[in-house]
């Protein structure tokens, strides 16, 4: 059975929590209620990624404080803030802090579903990118120091000859390291190796560095 998408309902109003939990469960989501911001934050590190329906006005921590406390974790827990009628100013502040969308009470069920659908599309893309980054970093980490030097040189736009000069190696030796680097990365083409490098987020030497190396020749 396909793992259901997770929606975390953070609202101090027990009737709102109950009704949203029941409705979202009936349409195929895994809905988990929290009685307030502090309760949600206490558990968030143990939760799987999902959409957060976050009430703005709560007695312990308000919605803005919860968003601030989430910090970078908001990438895994995108927030849809729930505001009262006419409270657009608060919703705008929440969006500036990283919230993905907002709903004004009362909202229709079809509007809720359309909103969380958009949020999950963004979340899925972000999680895919994160998985790709983790995989790329692991592959690069497995390289030998020399293979990594060659990879970064190529990513920085250097030829084998320039890399050999920079590393004080023969061009033939660089070619050997390049071949073993490709094998260890599990790629067949240089563009694939470059894509892994850029996806990993590793710092690549800039044009100014390359030009300095070239001038030194």
CATH number reported for the structural domain that contains residue 172 in this entry: 1.10.10.10
Do 177 and 117 lie in a common domain? Answer: no
pLDDT mean over 129-140: 90
Last residue of a domain, one of 85, 108, 131: 131
> CA 45 to CA 158: how far, in whole Å?
43
Same domain, 12 and 115: yes
Instruction: Based on the fold, state whether residues 177 and 81 are members of the same structural domain.
Output: no
* 91 pLDDT more than 90: no
112 and 168 part of one domain: no
Q: Identify the CATH number of the domain in which residue 63 sits.
A: 3.40.50.2300
The whole model's pTM is what? 0.70
Domain limit, last residue, from 80, 103, 131: 131
CA 79 to chain centroid: 14
Same domain, 125 and 174: no
Helix (H) or strand (E) holding 114: helix 109-141
Is residue 18 within 8 A of residue 65, CB to CB? The reply is no
Condensed to tens digits (0 to 9), the pLDDT of residues 26-73 reads 999 999 999 999 999 999 999 999 999 999 988 888 999 999 999 999
Length of the chain: 217
Pair 103, 23 in one domain = yes
Label residue 217 by pLDDT band (50, 70, 90). very low
Tell me: do 157 and 85 sit in the same domain.
no
Question: CA 134, CA 138: separation in Å to the nearest integer?
Answer: 6
Q: Would you say residue 194 lies in a domain?
A: yes
Contact 29, 4 (CB under 8 A): yes
Q: Sorting pLDDT into bands at 50, 70 and 90, what band is 18?
A: very high
- Return the ∠ at Cα 135 (arms to 150 and 46), rounded to 5°: 145
Mean per-residue pLDDT over the chain, rounded: 88
* pLDDT at residue 214 greater than cutoff 70: no
Structural domains of the chain, count: 2
**Of the given ranges (86-90, 124-128, 165-169, 203-207), which has the lowest mean pLDDT?**
203-207
Of the residues 131, 153, 183, which one is the last residue of a structural domain? 131
pLDDT value, residue 213: 42
Q: Are the beta carbons of 18 and 32 closer than 8 angstroms? A: no
Distances from the Cα of 60 to the Cαs of 57, 97, 206, in angstroms? 9, 19, 48
What is the pLDDT confidence band of residue 203, given thresholds at 50, 70 and 90?
A: confident
CB 33 within 8 A of CB 21: yes
- Whether 149 and 69 map to the same domain: the answer is no
* Cα 193 from chain centroid (whole Å): 22
End-to-end CA distance of the chain: 62
Residue 49 structural domain: 6-131
Give yes or no for residue 1 having a pLDDT over 60.
no
Burial 9-41 (b: 16+ CB within 10 A, else e): bbbbeeebbeebbeebeeeebebbbbbbbbbbb
Specify if 101 maps to a domain: yes
Residue 136 in domain: no
Tell me: do 16 and 68 sit in the same domain: yes
Q: Residue 90's pLDDT is what? A: 87
- 15 with 84, same domain: the answer is yes
User: What pLDDT band is residue 202 in, cutting at 50, 70 and 90?
Assistant: confident
């Amino acid at each position: 059975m396909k793992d259901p998408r997770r929606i975390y309902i953070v609202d101090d109003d027990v009737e709102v929590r109950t009704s949203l939990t029941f409705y979202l469960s009936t349409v195929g989501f895994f809905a988990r209620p929290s009685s307030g911001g502090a309760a949600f934050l206490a558990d968030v590190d143990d939760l799987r990624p999902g959409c957060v329906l976050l009430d703005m006005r709560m007695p312990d921590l308000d919605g803005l404080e919860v968003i601030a406390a989430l910090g970078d974790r908001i990438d895994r827990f995108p927030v849809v803030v729930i505001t009262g009628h006419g409270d657009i100013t608060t919703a705008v502040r929440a969006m500036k802090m990283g919230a993905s969308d907002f709903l004004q009470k009362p909202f229709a069920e079809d509007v809720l579903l359309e909103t969380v659908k958009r949020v999950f599309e963004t979340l899925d893309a972000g999680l895919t990118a994160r998985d790709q980054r983790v995989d790329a970093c692991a592959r690069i980490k497995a390289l030998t120091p020399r293979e990594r030097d060659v990879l970064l040189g190529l990513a920085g736009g250097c030829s084998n000859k320039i890399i050999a000069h920079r590393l004080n190696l023969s061009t033939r030796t660089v070619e050997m390291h390049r071949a073993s680097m490709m094998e260890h990365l599990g790629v067949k083409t240089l563009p694939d190796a470059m894509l892994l490098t850029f996806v990993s987020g590793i710092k690549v030497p800039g044009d100014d560095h390359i030009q300095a190396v070239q001038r030194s020749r």
